[in-house]
Amino acid sequence: MNRIIYNYNFEINHIYRYMGREKEKEINTLNTINIIPYNFTPHKLKKNNNLPDDISIKKEILRSNIIKKLIKLFTYIIRNMKEIKNLSKIFKYNKLEEYVHKWCWLQYTNSSLQDIIIPYVKNEKYNFNEFIEDFNYTIINKNTNLENMKLTLEKPIIKNLISKTKSFLKKEYFIFNNQLLEIDNIDFKLNKIRNEDEIIFKYSDIYITINNNVYIRLQQKFNNNYKTFGNNIDIDKYIFCLFYRYSYIDSGNQQLAIHHKIKSMFREYGVNFELFGSAINVVSDYYCSLFYDIEKYFGSQGNFFDIELVSGIYWCNPPYINYLMTNVANKLIDIMNNTTNIGFIITIPIWDNITQKSNLTEITRNYNKYNCQEDYEDYPVYYLLKPYIKDELIIPQNRIPYFNYRYYKPIFASDTYMLIVYKELTNTNINSGLHTVFNKIIELDKTNYFHLC
């Protein structure tokens, strides 16, 4: 069992640059707080999951080609729906591509998955429910007259899509494995160009651009972990593969991170482990991620669903996919019901009808405190967590931006719940400290503090 206690001196210096030296005395008093150590069992490979984890640029290219062809398959079938006019306009700006990426992510939770990326599952139990929900939401949001055009699993077009997808993935996975035997005969040099603000990688006709700050941080993470895996590893190959993979399988804004200033404020109270991050966007010392095969080289502890949490306070910013968020909530509840001294800072989008209709324009605290759990049956993740919520912020979309580290820019993505969730915390300093941060967030937001990235 690993026990991890973080060193927060760097973060305190980081905070000074934004809060001013007058806050130094206040912050230094926090050094005496008895931090609850992280206590967790690291990544455990599933017994029926023998996925290969050798990293290869050529293998990533083969995988990306399959994902591109899968998107074309979905697009061709969906856009041939004669009943709905202007489907191209409805699904402009690559919205359908985003939904296919999300569909792939859902298949990665299937225990019979045969590859890290290719969403071929041997038991053929593909999850299409979320894709159907996304499709229905999009068409009805554009035109309420299309209510009767909603897709269901019983509709012929979905049955056709499922059938074609099964055949396609089975065939492509077979071809992929045969191609792996031939790719060693093809090779290109990985070139790197340094500019003032960015690194540009070129491999054949593929270009990957990385902000210098992110590149340096990845180098540091890699160097902190490479001894575990040997000395003869080309760090640039791994960074290229990491960025390239997230470029062709990124489900919308899944690389968005919580504002680093907020994370710094919570870090004073021991929150230094992100349950849903990536090597690209994580700023905490410890994190779980989706692609353990490559992100273990950058410090990932594994997939959230494959580790055991015992104690500590954790960030939880799951992908904004209903099915996944519901599964996350169920696991967190199981942990809290069987463990003391464990808590979570959770961020999820505001997708319930009650809060959406409030049209709040300022950060609001505990707006839903006195509402019944049953009021949120339309939003499963919030419904499940409601009995465990000890404090809540509603953050309107235009108040605090997320940050996309892949594109290195702030993004005002969605109205957001920030929740403090636990069942029992015996450390009163930690307990009160977490709630104090919410006070600070509200006060600092009034000065547009979080807009100054």
- Per the listing, tokens 């060693």 go with 184
Q: How far apart are CA 320 and CA 201, in angstroms?
A: 30
Average pLDDT for 65-84: 89
pLDDT bracket for residue 387 (50, 70, 90)? very high
Choice between 306 and 141, residue whose per-residue pLDDT is larger: 306
Mean of the per-residue pLDDT values of the chain? 84
User: Can you give the C-alpha Rg of the chain in angstroms?
Assistant: 23
Which residue, 225, 186, 229, is CA-closest to 204? 186
The pLDDT value recorded for residue 230 is 60
User: 106-118 pLDDT, tens per residue?
Assistant: 999 999 999 999 9
**Domain chopping of the chain, boundaries:** 2-32+252-451, 57-184, 191-248
Residue 364 pLDDT more than 60? yes
Average pLDDT for 173-187: 83
The pLDDT value recorded for residue 7 is 30
User: 210-257 pLDDT, tens per residue?
Assistant: 999 999 999 999 988 876 666 677 899 999 999 999 999 986 566 789
Name which CATH class applies to 2-32+252-451: alpha beta
Mean pLDDT is lowest, of 25-29, 57-61, 135-139, 436-440, for: 25-29
The pLDDT value recorded for residue 11 is 32
Average pLDDT for 417-424: 96
Please report, rounded to a whole number, the percentage of residues in the chain having pLDDT higher than 90.
Answer: 63
Residue 9 pLDDT more than 50? no
The pLDDT value recorded for residue 183 is 73
pLDDT bracket for residue 38 (50, 70, 90)? low
Please report, rounded to a whole number, the percentage of residues in the chain having pLDDT higher than 70.
Answer: 82
Residue 313 buriedness (CB in 10 A; 0-12 / 13-18 / 19+)? buried
Mean pLDDT is lowest, of 25-39, 149-163, 282-296, for: 25-39
How far from each other are the two terminal CA atoms of the chain, in whole angstroms? 37
Choice between 99 and 146, residue whose per-residue pLDDT is larger: 99
pLDDT bracket for residue 54 (50, 70, 90)? confident
Q: How far apart are CA 158 and CA 147, in angstroms?
A: 17
